[in-house]
Structures are given as C-alpha cells and as structure tokens.
Structure 1
Amino acid sequence: MNSTGFKELFYDSDLILIIDKNGKVLYYDDYDDNLNMLKKENVIGRYIYELYPFFTREDFTVFRAMDKKEPILNEYQSFNVDGNKKNCLNNAFPLINETGVLGGIIISVELSSKSIKKKIKKASSRYNFEDIITENQEFKKSLEILKKVSKSESNVLIVGETGTGKELIAHSIHSNSMRRNKPFVIQNCAAIPSSIMESILFGTAKGSFTGSIDREGLFESANGGTIFLDEINSIPFDLQSKLLRTLENKSIMRIGENIERDTDIRIIASTNEDLEKKVDKGEFRSDLYYRLNVISFNVPPLKDRKEDIKVLVDYYIKQYNSILNKNITGISKDVLQILNNYEWKGNVRELKNVIEYSLNFSEEGVLNTDNLPQYLLKSVDSNTNECIVDSSLTTLVDNYECKLIKDALKICRYNILKTSEYLSIPRQTLYYKLKKYNCICQLKIRSKGHLILGHF
C-alpha cells in the first residue's frame, strides 16, 4: 500500500486503535464516535480485552496480524457493543522493529454507516502479478495466462496448499480486472461461525430476528466489485444452495426479506482441499463447484518449484534486514542445500518464517547452519532417505568451532575484543557462541575486556 492509500485509509476510517504486544491500548480515536461506546479518556492504558470482553484473542484481527507478522486487509467482523450490533471492515498492521513485534494497529470502517459505498471502495486490492516472485517457467506461463483472463467476468477458483500465496493471486486478479477501481472484499469462510455466515454474506432485515437491523451483507456492500471467498471449502452445506442461487440469479435476499436485490459481483474463491473429493463425499454441492470453477488456477507448492527457494530467500533477507536492522548478505552453500532438500509443508509462508527466525540469530555476513531452526537441521529428505544434517555431523561441527574459539582465546590471552577481531566476528557473536558451547563455566569480565577465571 502506497503512502497516499494509507493516508486515505486513515481519513475514511471510523476507528483507529494502537496496542502494544501485550494488548495495552496506546492510542485510540473514534472519528464518528459511534463505532465504540467507550470514550478516549477511558481507553488509553487499558487492555483491549477489557474493551471487548466478548472477544477471545483469536477474534482480534490485530493480534492475528501480529502473529502472522504481516497485514490483514478488508476483513469483515460483526459484534455487539452495549446491545448495539456493529459490523466492520478491519485492516490490521503489525508494528515491528529489530527486536520483533512491538504491537499492532487496527483501522476499522463501520459497514452500517451511510458512507459505506465511499469507504468500501478504499478497500481495494494491494498486490499485482509483478509482486509474485517465481523463477519456475511453468508457473510463469500459467500466471501470464491468468493475467489475460483476469479481464474476464468469469468466476475463478484458486486451488493450492496452505501458505502458497492464494490471497496474493486473488489480489492480482482483481488488480488486472475491469473492476479494479471497485471494491475488493475478502472473507475467510473458515474464520467466522457458520451460524452468522449467512447474515454476513447476505445481510439482514429489521425484525427478522431479535435485535436484527437493516444491514447490507458483503455481496450488497461490494456491489460492482469482487468478493474473495477464502477457504470456500469451509462454507456450510446448507448455505451453499443460497450462494448458488446468488450466482445464478445475480441477486441476493437479506435474511427476513422477500425482496430480490440485484448484485453485480465477481467471485474469486480459494480452497486448500480437493473440492472434487468433497463433492464425491456429498460435502460440497456439485452445481456450486462448477459455478465457481469456471476458471481454475492451481498454485504449485514450493516443493515443486525449488528454483524459487533462492530468489525468495534473497527477497526475504532484504525485507528482514530492513525490519530487524541487520546486514545479512546471503546464505551459505550448506544452508541452500538444506533448504532445497526440505519438504516445505508450510510452503512460502514457512520459508518466510524460517528466514525471519534465522536473521534474529545472526549478526552479519551470510546465514549458516547455526542460524537455522533445529527442526530443519534434523530434517530428513524422505525421497532419498538421506539425512540432510544428522546430529553426529552437527556435533562434530560444534566441537570443531568450540576448539577454534578456545585456541583463539588462548592466543589472544583471553581478551574478548582481540579474540573477536582475530576470529573476524562481532563480540556479541563471540559471547553467544561461548554461551552456546558452554566453553566457559565461570566468567568474569573486567572493564578492559579480559576474561578472568576462564575454565575449559
């Protein structure tokens, strides 16, 4: 999101809330003074759980953004404040520096406000095809084809394992469609209870049930644009018929109404399960499946495009160098071999997390095996039954490095500064390795940096 878009997002928001990593409120503003019944002076310094006692941690968009360490955009949320039903579109961003996640910011738009048409248009796509990183020729070819058919009005079904980047694909399709200047609304079907999914998608009429109000659903609110139904495989079977009717008739009916309301919506759906198998099991309607699957796009798992690992690693190193204030220049050959032979069940998302982890345990230069998570070092390539780095090799490497450090300390007469310079590593790294290998059981440091009582 560029700076102009971010400013517009602030300008058209009803609520801005900033918390620290523990959930303490650092900043609060309710511009319309109707999204939350709490006043600013009663909010600062309190915990977000106190403000929304009906939420669990998993319910907060901002905490999930902090856990993922990446933004969550255009997420619908419905809740009650003092008996008043509120429906919001949330954008949450983690606040990160070199030490990790400091907190998060959530920016909410109230969907029931009169200005919803203007505001929801601000919730547009964030990525384009150029943002998709790949060196895999087959994947590149399929993306070029998808870019061309994005201008079509046909529905698209994106199929891929968890962590392959299906949402990135959906953003890109909308960005290249004729609807790119219209709303782009995202709803994860697995993230909301099935009991309220119908009201979220189709809206409600006043009096249809206790406490109900006239409210647009997501289809109505995003009229003219695109809805991305993530994890469509999680949609309840009894709701699938109503969704099918919406697709066939291009109209919706709010809960409690007998009025058909015309809609102009393109649907992009994604699934991390095989929908054909769910159809065979009677868990997913075949007619809905074929309606959604007009254009089908398969996102290959990372294990099938190993040539992307190095380019993705370089990209994430650059990204986390900036975030964590590091100066890592690349990875060693041993690390690249380990990454290339790993199965990557968590796909690109897992690789991103591994690079972030590794940078947190590195100082400068290239990433080596010491920086990788232990589960990677102990991994076994099931295809070749060859141990990538077995424990005996790791032990030998550790022992050899420990011996080098011991020898260097003796040569430098236990002067930490001179030893670090002799080994061409930062002092912090030397301290870390001394602690790691437990080379010294008693340590005392004078102001000049000499080790006293160094026992090996």
Structure 2
Amino acid sequence: MSSNGLKELFYDSDLILIIDKNGKVMYYDDYDDNLNMLKKENVVGRSIFELYPFFKREDFTVFRAMDRKEPILNEYQTFTVDGNKKNCLNNAFPLINETGVIGGIVISVELSSKAVKRKTRKSTSRYDFEDIITENQEFKKSMEILKKVSKSESNVLIIGETGTGKELIAHSIHSNSSRRNKPFIIQNCAAIPSSIMESILFGTAKGSFTGSMDKEGLFESANGGTIFLDEINSVPYDLQSKLLRTLENKNIMRIGENIEREIDIRIIASTNEDLARKVDKGEFRADLYYRLNVISFNIPPLKERKEDIKVLVDYYINQYNSILNKNITGISKDVMQILNDYEWKGNIRELKNVIEYALNFSEDGILNMDSLPQYLMKSISSEKKERLAGGSLTTMVDNYECKLIKDALESCKYNILKTAEFLNIPRQTLYYKLKKYNIE
C-alpha cells in the first residue's frame, strides 16, 4: 500500500512506525512532518535505538506491546527533540504469526499545537463552519448564532446523536475563537479506560505509582487553547468532581503531587446522551452539568434534515471517486428514494459508509440498488420492494447504455461524429445522452 493509502486508513494519525522484533525500522511515515523531525529516506533499515537515542527499551510503547503480546492503547508520552517538547498519544500493536512475535507497529497522534494539514489558515483546528454541509435552514440559522458564541470564552456543550458531526462543530468553534492559534486538543472520553482517564487528563508525578513518570496531562497540553472532551457522559462519576474543580478554579493537580498548576483553557464538551436525564438518575453530577452547559448547541439528526441527504451523497460520491479511482456520475431515483426513506440511526457517519460501500461495488455509471449494503435493503418493506422492482430494469438499462456510450467514445477517440455513426444514432441524440449521463 502506498504512503497516501496508509494515510487515508489512519486519517487522524501523525506518525506510523513499523519495526521488526529487533527494532529495525521496516516502515516509517511522519504525516505531520513535525512530530519527530526525522527524514523518511534516512529511517527505513536503521535501528529504532539509533533514531531515538534518548529512549531506553522500556520507554518504547511498541516494545512493551511486543513483550506483552497485546495492544497498548492511548498511552500518553512526552519527549523532547532538538529542544522542542512533544506530547503524544500512542497506540502500539504486536505483529504475531505462527512463529511468535515478529515485530510491532505504533500509531502516534501529536496532542500539542496540532498543525493544520489540509488548509492554509493558521488555526490549530482542521475545520471551519464553511466545511459543514447543510441545506437545512434552521440548522444554518443556529450556526450563525454559534459563530458569534465562538468568540466568547464560555464553555460549550454540544448535544447530538452519534455520527452527527459534533467534532466538526468543535473544530469550527475553536477556528473562530480568539484561541485559534493556540492548541486544540481532542479526547474521546469513551475511548479511555476509566482506570487511566485521570492520569491522561491531569498528568502524573514521578513515583506516584509503580513505573510512573513526570508527565503533563491533556489539560496542561491545551494550556492557552481549547480542549474538546467528546462523549463527556462517559467520565466516571468519581472523576467528575475533580473535573468540576478544574473548571471552577482554572488549575489542575497531577496525580501524586500537592502542587496546583494554573491553566488557561476553554472547554468544549459533547454528549450523545441526555445529560439532564443522567443527572436525574444520579449518574452525572448536577453541578458539573450546569458548569459545562453554559452554552448548549443541539445538532439535529439526519432524519430531521432530509434535504441534506442529496447534497451529502453528491459530496461523498466525489470524495470516494477520487479515493477509489471510480467514475460514478450520479445515483438512480430508486436508490435516492431508499436513502430518503431510511432512518439513518448512524446519521452522517452511516451515510458516508454506505456511499463508500456502494462505490466499492459499482462500475462507472450511476449507483443502483444492487450496489447498496444488504442490511439497508432488508430495511425496505416488501410492498416497497415490489414498487421499486419496476424501476430497477430501467436503472439497469441506463447503466448499460451509459457504458456502451463510454466505450464507443473511447474507441472513436472522443470524436462525436464518428461515435454517433458507430452507435447508429443521430448526433443530437448522442449529445442528449451525454448530458443525461453526465459524460464529459
């Protein structure tokens, strides 16, 4: 797989490193071009100990994963390269075959001052409100209000179902705030085991427990900027009081320390559950809820934004045409009807996955019912299937005709007159069909 292919697979990663069991580098890519400041062409084939002389074997997350023969997830690590402090979150996996451990892979994300990789603006977040795709007028109006709120220092609570784009909203708020050029730290609270959540958020002091080191937590890494706590509803109840103190007093205390460290951060939190209901059940602290919910923003689910389905479908078709090297020019009326009628419990994320699936199983032309995932087809009632079956033949004929025209154009070297003669149709008819199938 190419470097770009791996980057698409690990979209939010900054560094991927693969070593053999002795520490020889088999693959290396620093997508941020900043994390470790190593040149790719001078890395492969060298020893990991040569590249990181300031690390001992036990300091490498990947070696510990290999020794344990199990993954190590979300391990926070701080180190310095050429006087530049780096804060990372590592995920390491052993590579094992029938002979045993043959190597390991580490995927690392830089936490501090995350650079923009696809945009030229100076904000440390990747997205802005202009990146949010919607035709829903109410949603558009609420975002106009949110743009004004972004310039405030108040905490924001984003409420929405899974897959609605809560992180995209958080990026946009930070991009439009006065902190836009300061760190923007993202942490999905549901992805951290409760046993290590406190140490990741607040940091540790050396000797506070076996193997502990002096490490700053995510709150310190975000100092001066914004921290986005995704799925805040997953924070354990006994840790919520410490989180509340941080919000109230603007300081943190590392595990094992008696020193209070002052921090200047803005908190954006999100939840896919009804926090007020969790408060009523005694599962979430009321005082923390009110402290987070200074400004709340509700993202409507996709089933309430049906006008957005078509524009999102077109967007993802274009995106996956490029990624998968396809040439899908549109979508049949039958398929569009199915997508409009579907409930989309997974929201935009589910729609994106459906379009990716469909393009994988489609040839050039338009998406038809045969391209859709089976689970989505099973959601259609028998009556509706019978109604749609009448249109499926038309769809198949259209796809076949589109392919014939494309093949003829290629054979005739895109000469319109020769192509029309080859197909034995008038030239005006060919122009009409070229426009119908969006063939250029």
- TM-score (normalised: structure 2): 0.70
1:326 equivalent to 2:306? Answer no
**Aligned residue number for residue 366 of structure 1:** 366
CA distance in 2, matches of 1:269, 1:401: 46
Kept in 1: contact 2:58–2:64 (CA 8 A): no
Residue aligned with 1:190, SS: helix
CA offsets 1:199-226 (integer angstroms, 9 cap, x no match): 1111111222222222111111211011
Stretches of structure 2 that go unaligned for 5 or more consecutive residues are 1-6, 8-13, 15-28, 79-85, 93-104, 117-123, 408-440
Superposed counterparts of 1:253-292, under 5 Å: 253-292=253-292
1:336: Cα distance to partner? 1.0
CA distance in 2, matches of 1:138, 1:152: 22
**Aligned residue number for residue 311 of structure 2:** 311
Kept in 1: contact 2:334–2:391 (CA 8 A): no
**Given the superposition, is the C-alpha separation of residues 173 and 354 from structure 1 closer, same or farther in structure 2, using an over 3 Å criterion?**
same
1:52: Cα distance to partner? 3.8
1:37 equivalent to 2:57? Answer yes
Residue aligned with 2:185, SS: strand
Residue aligned with 1:153, SS: coil
**Aligned residue number for residue 232 of structure 1:** 232
CA distance in 2, matches of 1:209, 1:29: 28
**Aligned residue number for residue 34 of structure 2:** 12
Kept in 2: contact 1:16–1:108 (CA 8 A): no
CA offsets 1:129-166 (integer angstroms, 9 cap, x no match): 11000000000011111011101000010000000010
1:373: Cα distance to partner? 1.3
CA distance in 1, matches of 2:45, 2:163: 32
- Percent of aligned pairs with the same residue? 69
CA distance in 1, matches of 2:370, 2:171: 37
CA distance in 2, matches of 1:150, 1:245: 23
Kept in 1: contact 2:223–2:265 (CA 8 A): yes
Q: Which amino acid letter does the alignment assign opposite residue 180 of structure 2?
A: R
**Given the superposition, is the C-alpha separation of residues 221 and 234 from structure 1 closer, same or farther in structure 2, using an over 3 Å criterion?**
same
Residue aligned with 2:362, SS: coil
1:360: Cα distance to partner? 1.0
CA distance in 1, matches of 2:382, 2:39: 48
1:192 equivalent to 2:192? Answer yes
Residue aligned with 2:134, SS: coil
**Given the superposition, is the C-alpha separation of residues 234 and 421 from structure 1 closer, same or farther in structure 2, using an over 3 Å criterion?**
closer
Kept in 1: contact 2:30–2:36 (CA 8 A): no
1:393: Cα distance to partner? 5.6
Stretches of structure 1 that go unaligned for 5 or more consecutive residues are 19-24, 41-47, 61-75, 81-85, 93-103, 112-118, 381-385, 405-419, 428-456
Superposed counterparts of 1:377-392, under 5 Å: 377-380=377-380, 389-390=384-385, 392=386
Superposed counterparts of 1:412-423, under 5 Å: none
Residue aligned with 1:358, SS: helix
**Given the superposition, is the C-alpha separation of residues 357 and 245 from structure 1 closer, same or farther in structure 2, using an over 3 Å criterion?**
same
1:164 equivalent to 2:164? Answer yes
**Given the superposition, is the C-alpha separation of residues 33 and 301 from structure 1 closer, same or farther in structure 2, using an over 3 Å criterion?**
farther
1:11: Cα distance to partner? 3.6
Kept in 2: contact 1:164–1:301 (CA 8 A): yes
**Aligned residue number for residue 201 of structure 2:** 201
CA distance in 1, matches of 2:373, 2:150: 39
1:29: Cα distance to partner? 6.7
Residue aligned with 1:163, SS: coil
**Aligned residue number for residue 99 of structure 2:** none
**How many pairs were matched up?**
349
Superposed counterparts of 1:207-226, under 5 Å: 207-226=207-226
- TM-score (normalised: structure 1): 0.67
CA offsets 1:104-135 (integer angstroms, 9 cap, x no match): 994444x8xxxxxxx54548311111100000
CA offsets 1:327-386 (integer angstroms, 9 cap, x no match): 111111111111111000000000000101111111122111121112222224xxxxx6
Q: Which amino acid letter does the alignment assign opposite residue 205 of structure 2?
A: A
1:426: Cα distance to partner? 8.3
**Aligned residue number for residue 411 of structure 2:** none
**Aligned residue number for residue 432 of structure 1:** none
Residue aligned with 1:283, SS: coil
**Aligned residue number for residue 450 of structure 1:** none
Residue aligned with 1:199, SS: helix
Residue aligned with 2:191, SS: coil
**Given the superposition, is the C-alpha separation of residues 340 and 266 from structure 1 closer, same or farther in structure 2, using an over 3 Å criterion?**
same
CA distance in 1, matches of 2:206, 2:58: 26
Q: Which amino acid letter does the alignment assign opposite residue 201 of structure 2?
A: L
User: Among residues 69, 76, 84, which one is paired with 1:78 in the alignment?
Assistant: 76
Q: What is the alpha-carbon root mean square deviation over aligned residues?
A: 3.9
Residue aligned with 2:190, SS: coil
